[in-house]
Copies of this chain bind each other. A is one copy, B any other.
Amino acid sequence: MSPESYSRSNRPIDYLKSSVNKIILIKVKRNRLFRGRLGGFDDHLNLYLEETSQIFEFQDDEGNIREEHENLGSIVVRGDNVIFVNLAHLEGF
């Protein structure tokens, strides 16, 4: 398969299909990070996520990067906020 056909048949967004029903990470503008089960998506990268938790990263007093989680359940993310989607590689993640 040539690079030309490769890129035409497989648009970047199509690669999300293999992650439907799997856990993904979504990095969003304004330093937000979501982890959830991908329920659906569209061409604008609008995302439907289930069992979502928002992850807050912050520096503690010793300068270490720490994480806090907030459970959100099912959310619809507006695509124009997305920086990148980290596809599922392991169900355990």
Q: Say whether A69 faces chain B, with CB atoms less than 8 Å apart.
A: no
In the complex the two chains form, is A39's CB within 8 Å of B20's CB?
Answer: no
Q: How many copies does the complex hold?
A: 7
Residues of B contacting A29 in the complex (Cβ-Cβ under 8 angstroms): 30
Interface: A92 (CB within 8 A)? no
A16 at the interface (CB under 8 A from B): yes
Closest 6 CB pairs of A and B: A3-B20, A12-B48, A12-B46, A74-B87, A77-B84, A3-B17
Can you sample 27 A-B contacts with CB below 8 Å?
A: A3-B17, A3-B18, A7-B40, A7-B41, A10-B39, A10-B40, A11-B40, A11-B46, A12-B40, A12-B42, A12-B47, A13-B46, A13-B76, A14-B40, A16-B76, A32-B83, A45-B78, A72-B86, A73-B87, A74-B86, A74-B87, A75-B85, A76-B85, A76-B87, A77-B83, A77-B84, A78-B82
